[in-house]
């Protein structure tokens, strides 16, 4: 089935199918296999190029993080390049000198310049009786040649050609510049955009708007239908990339070609639509290029601190970079959400509509991660009117896996020491996290064996608290099921609960954070009768768009526990996926107190799983001190916004390392040169001015210095800017670049 090849083989009866997800809380119903073609999304007026022009725009290969749409690489760096003031000043001086020489020669003050005119003109042209007209013509020609020679000579001296190349020629080319304009019509959120770069002439065999790949296999009718959709305005960038992805799947299995052609002829640009029926987002707040999967982040400043290849270029993010995960650090109101997190989430949501990505965005209510209509599933934990639920165990059927993930969320951040939280003396560390996982497995395993599901939050709290009635009921259910292994697990739990330092009390205190009236009805553990099937991280095998709103007000500790739980579930499920063609990403708009030693290691392993996480922090103080350097080193992409502290800057400065730079040391020594008269004059000047005459000496050295020091990061990053470094999954890395966000 072609639709399955394009969207991860969703079946109509798959309980994780998000079709119809905007209905009430319940099992997610299936969409009909061929729904009517949805209308094109309404877009605000835009000055951007048409879809055909957008397709034909150049996208050259570039360094990591450079916006490739319409990008013009900078010429090779010239180490002898003159500064602007020196270049313009020298050119003006050369022009003045040329005019002076011309004037002196014209008025007869430089006779040698006129000798060649006398040498090469016949004597019959000279004198009163000569051919005056011929001599005048020869003189004008000589003057023109002399002017050309003066212009050439002084132009070389004054570097006039460099002025043409640097200032005049770029303006004659028109708008565009480094980074190029925005996406196609409607691709930039309705904002006006510059004109498109020069495109290849339409109608050629390589014109992507004509779908040459379909014509090459003889499917002219399907190609004509799609071409007509492009020229008629019935197709947008999401449609093109989605259909192209379906075509790439067909190329691997040509027996699906008839079904592909039939779908294209029947539905045109709406073929192979996302199961939600959406063909675009209701609004776009950033500029996207779906052909490369990039979203514009900002523009690198054109200054010496930035690497030469990045100066003036637009910066962009894409899955190849996000697969190495990203850490965003900046104080409140610095622009973390609006200028970094929101564009990333929006880009991944668009790519989900093309069948190439799945995204889970986690933040507080009103965090600004996009409207509800931009998502397939919106979970508002603590809101009784919410239509969807969250699986506490991540959708797994393995009790040991469920216990390990739950233990990581509940006690992964527990500090060690003689009196840990919850009364568990000395509790804390990875060894104790394993003990907590064992304790949980000894309870949820028998419960699943007896009841066919994992315990709900209230049931799990009673079991961890050691409520005799709850434990006795579970034992009776296991005996009735005849499960000897479950009974042995319960016996072991009872023995361990009597030992000092048992993790049970701490686990009970932590799970009690979720056993509140505000969360009643949430955290379903599976389908029981008519109960709803909650969303689980394992559903990310499909191109889902999920937003989870955490209850910040009055439930801060519960929100942190849930954020750790979601991170642990995501890293576990992303690594275990069988289908890794979809890029999966978890975005935590507030990752405070979320990272643990185990989660930091898990983030590093996501690179090989075509998955990544985006972690936003107000400060590294929200990460345990022993983990700060490890957390910064675990991610490949780092964004440091203006306003960070020097303590935070120190960690990033160490991560970015040092570079060789040339420095100038200037020394001033007393000037004792000259004779007695000169020394006397210097003494009189020093007497009246109070400044002694000195000589100036300059020493140039090559030394190693930090690319960005802690003080520079704290005090020299302007508002609205950030220092960004990016790394691809292949290991290609960009140095830290100062960029203005949002451009």
Q: What is the pLDDT of residue 136?
A: 82
In tens, the pLDDT along 475-510 reads 999 999 888 899 999 999 999 988 888 899 999 999
Q: What is the pLDDT of residue 664?
A: 76
Q: What is the pLDDT of residue 329?
A: 97
Instruction: Decide: helix, strand or coil at residue 294.
Output: strand
Residue 445, pLDDT > 60, answer yes
Q: What is the pLDDT of residue 418?
A: 35
Q: What is the pLDDT of residue 699?
A: 83
| Residue 17 or residue 551, greater confidence | 551
Residue among 68, 505, 204, 562 nearest 362 (CA): 562
pLDDT winner (highest mean) among 81-90, 272-281, 427-436: 272-281
Residue 246: pLDDT band with limits 50, 70, 90: very high
Residues 692, 607, single domain; the answer is no
CB 34 within 8 A of CB 539: no
Residue 635, pLDDT > 90, answer yes
CB 620 within 8 A of CB 329: yes
Residue 199, pLDDT > 50, answer no
Residues 91, 160, single domain; the answer is yes
CB 430 within 8 A of CB 480: no
Residue 175, pLDDT > 60, answer no
Residues 380, 426, single domain; the answer is no
Across 268-296, average pLDDT: 95
In tens, the pLDDT along 90-107 reads 889 999 999 999 888 888
Q: What is the pLDDT of residue 185?
A: 40
In tens, the pLDDT along 719-736 reads 999 999 999 999 999 999
Q: What are φ and ψ of residue 573, in 5° steps? A: -75, -35
Q: What is the pLDDT of residue 666?
A: 80
CB 379 within 8 A of CB 605: no
Instruction: Decide: helix, strand or coil at residue 519.
Output: helix
| Residue 112 or residue 585, greater confidence | 585
Residues 351, 434, single domain; the answer is no
Q: What is the pLDDT of residue 587?
A: 97
* Distant-in-sequence, close-in-space partners of 64: CB < 8 Å, separation ≥ 6: 321, 726, 727, 728, 732, 733, 734
Percent of the chain with pLDDT over 70: 85
Q: What is the pLDDT of residue 10?
A: 37
pLDDT winner (highest mean) among 142-146, 178-182, 234-238: 234-238
Residues 474, 568, single domain; the answer is no
Domain, as residue range, for 552 = 294-392+543-649
Residues 114, 167, single domain; the answer is yes
Residues 329, 429, single domain; the answer is no
Whether 229 maps to a domain, the answer reads: no
Across 535-553, average pLDDT: 90
Residues 594, 507, single domain; the answer is no
Residue among 341, 339, 344, 351 nearest 743 (CA): 339
Residue 204, pLDDT > 90, answer no
Specify the CATH number for the domain of residue 620.
3.40.50.300
Residues 123, 147, single domain; the answer is yes
Whether 212 maps to a domain, the answer reads: no
Residue 181: pLDDT band with limits 50, 70, 90: low
As given in the structure block, the two tokens for residue 259 are: 């079904």
Q: What is the pLDDT of residue 694?
A: 78
Residues 508, 410, single domain; the answer is yes
Residue 179: pLDDT band with limits 50, 70, 90: very low
pLDDT winner (highest mean) among 345-349, 426-430, 461-465: 345-349
Residue 421, pLDDT > 70, answer no
Q: Provide the number of structural domains found in the chain.
A: 4
Write down which residue in 609, 627, 649 finishes a domain: 649
Whether 162 maps to a domain, the answer reads: yes
Whether 721 maps to a domain, the answer reads: no
Residue 32, pLDDT > 60, answer no
Whether 77 maps to a domain, the answer reads: no
Residues 667, 643, single domain; the answer is no
> What gap in Å lies between CA 370 and CA 320, rounded to an integer?
23
Residue 355, pLDDT > 80, answer yes
Distances in whole angstroms, Cα of residue 303 to Cα of each of 64, 83, 296, 311: 19, 12, 20, 7
Residue 409, pLDDT > 50, answer yes
Residue 173: pLDDT band with limits 50, 70, 90: low
Distances in whole angstroms, Cα of residue 582 to Cα of each of 2, 82, 353, 568, 578: 16, 49, 12, 19, 11
Q: How far apart are the first and last CA of the chain?
A: 42
Whether 386 maps to a domain, the answer reads: yes
Residue 615, pLDDT > 90, answer yes
Write down which residue in 152, 173, 194 finishes a domain: 173
| Residue 514 or residue 412, greater confidence | 514
* Distant-in-sequence, close-in-space partners of 152: CB < 8 Å, separation ≥ 6: none
Across 638-653, average pLDDT: 96
As given in the structure block, the two tokens for residue 334 are: 């610095």
Whether 250 maps to a domain, the answer reads: no
Q: What is the pLDDT of residue 129?
A: 61
Whether 61 maps to a domain, the answer reads: no
Write down which residue in 600, 617, 649 finishes a domain: 649
Q: What is the pLDDT of residue 195?
A: 35
In tens, the pLDDT along 301-314 reads 988 889 989 999 99
Identify the weakest region by mean pLDDT among 28-37, 90-99, 170-179: 28-37
CB 447 within 8 A of CB 413: no
| Residue 295 or residue 482, greater confidence | 295
Residue 528, pLDDT > 50, answer no
Residue among 404, 410, 409 nearest 434 (CA): 404
Q: What is the pLDDT of residue 696?
A: 79
Residue 23: pLDDT band with limits 50, 70, 90: very low
Q: Tell me what the pLDDT averaged over the chain comes to.
A: 83
Identify the weakest region by mean pLDDT among 200-204, 349-353, 374-378: 200-204
Q: What is the pLDDT of residue 130?
A: 65
What is the DSSP annotation of 692-704? --EEEEEEEEEEE
Q: What is the pLDDT of residue 520?
A: 83
Q: What is the pLDDT of residue 250?
A: 92
Residues 323, 409, single domain; the answer is no
| Residue 35 or residue 677, greater confidence | 677
Q: What is the pLDDT of residue 705?
A: 85
């Amino acid at each position: 089935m072609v639709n399955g090849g394009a969207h991860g083989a969703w079946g109509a009866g798959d309980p994780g199918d998000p079709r119809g997800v905007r209905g009430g809380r319940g099992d997610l119903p299936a969409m009909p296999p061929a729904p009517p073609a949805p209308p094109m999304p309404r877009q605000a007026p835009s000055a951007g190029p048409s879809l055909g022009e957008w397709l034909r725009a150049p996208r050259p290969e570039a360094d990591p993080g450079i916006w490739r749409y319409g990008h013009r690489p900078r010429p090779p760096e010239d180490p002898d390049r003159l500064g602007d003031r020196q270049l313009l000043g020298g050119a003006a001086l050369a022009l003045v000198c040329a005019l002076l020489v011309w004037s002196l020669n014209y008025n007869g003050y430089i006779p040698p310049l006129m000798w060649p005119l006398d040498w090469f003109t016949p004597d019959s042209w000279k004198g009163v009786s000569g051919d005056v007209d011929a001599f005048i013509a020869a003189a004008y020609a000589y003057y023109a040649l002399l002017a050309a020679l003066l212009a050439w000579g002084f132009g070389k001296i004054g570097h006039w050609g460099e002025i043409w190349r640097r200032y005049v020629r770029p303006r004659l080319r028109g708008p565009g510049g480094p980074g190029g304009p925005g996406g196609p019509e409607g691709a930039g959120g309705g904002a006006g955009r510059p004109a498109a770069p020069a495109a290849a002439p339409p109608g050629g065999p390589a014109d992507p708007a004509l779908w040459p790949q379909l014509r090459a296999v003889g499917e002219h009718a399907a190609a004509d239908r799609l071409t007509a959709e492009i020229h008629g305005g019935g197709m947008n960038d999401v449609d093109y990339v989605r259909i192209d992805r379906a075509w790439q799947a067909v190329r691997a299995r040509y027996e699906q070609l008839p079904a592909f052609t039939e779908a294209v002829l029947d539905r045109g640009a709406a073929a192979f639509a996302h199961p939600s029926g959406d063909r675009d987002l209701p609004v776009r707040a950033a500029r996207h290029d779906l052909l490369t999967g990039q979203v514009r982040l900002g523009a690198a400043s054109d200054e010496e601190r930035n690497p030469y290849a990045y100066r003036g270029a637009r910066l962009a993010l894409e899955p190849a970079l996000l697969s190495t995960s990203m850490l965003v650090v900046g104080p409140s109101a610095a622009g973390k959400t609006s200028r970094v997190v929101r564009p990333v989430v929006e880009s991944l949501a668009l790519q989900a509509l093309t069948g190439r990505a799945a995204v889970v965005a986690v933040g507080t209510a009103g965090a600004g991660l996009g409207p509800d209509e931009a998502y397939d599933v919106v979970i508002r934990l603590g809101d009784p009117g919410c239509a969807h639920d969250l699986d506490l165990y991540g959708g797994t059927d393995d009790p040991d896996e469920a216990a390990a993930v739950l233990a990581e969320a509940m006690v992964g951040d527990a500090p060690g020491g003689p009196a840990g939280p919850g009364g568990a003396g000395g509790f804390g560390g990875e060894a104790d996290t394993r003990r907590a996982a064992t304790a949980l497995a000894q309870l949820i395993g028998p419960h699943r064996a007896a009841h066919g599901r994992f315990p709900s939050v209230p049931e799990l709290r009673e079991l961890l608290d050691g409520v005799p009635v709850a434990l006795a009921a579970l034992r009776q259910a296991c005996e009735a099921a005849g499960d000897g292994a479950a009974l042995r697990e319960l016996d072991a739990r009872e023995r361990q609960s009597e030992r000092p330092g048992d993790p049970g009390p701490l686990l009970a205190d932590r799970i009690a954070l979720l056993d509140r009236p505000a969360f009643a009805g949430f955290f379903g553990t599976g389908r029981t009768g008519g109960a709803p099937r909650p969303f689980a991280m394992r559903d990310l095998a499909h191109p889902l768009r999920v937003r989870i709103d955490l209850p910040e007000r009055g439930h801060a500790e519960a929100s942190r526990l849930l954020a750790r739980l979601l991170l642990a579930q995501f890293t576990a499920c992303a690594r275990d996926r069988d289908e890794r063609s979809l890029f999966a990403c978890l975005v935590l708009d507030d990752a405070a107190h979320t990272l643990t030693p185990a989660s930091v290691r898990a983030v590093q392993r996501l690179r090989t799983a075509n998955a990544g996480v985006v972690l936003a922090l107000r400060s590294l103080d929200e990460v345990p001190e022993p983990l700060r350097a490890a957390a910064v080193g675990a991610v490949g992409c780092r964004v440091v916004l203006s306003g960070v502290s020097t303590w935070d800057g120190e960690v990033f400065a160490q991560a970015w390392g040092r570079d060789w730079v040339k420095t100038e040391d200037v020394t001033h020594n007393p000037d004792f040169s000259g004779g007695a008269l000169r020394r006397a004059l210097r003494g009189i000047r020093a007497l009246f001015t109070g400044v002694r005459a000195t000589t100036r000496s300059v020493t140039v050295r090559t030394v190693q210095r930090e690319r960005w020091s802690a003080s520079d990061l704290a005090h020299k990053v302007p508002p609205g800017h950030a220092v960004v470094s990016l790394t691809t999954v292949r290991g290609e890395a960009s140095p830290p670049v100062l960029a203005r966000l949002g451009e």
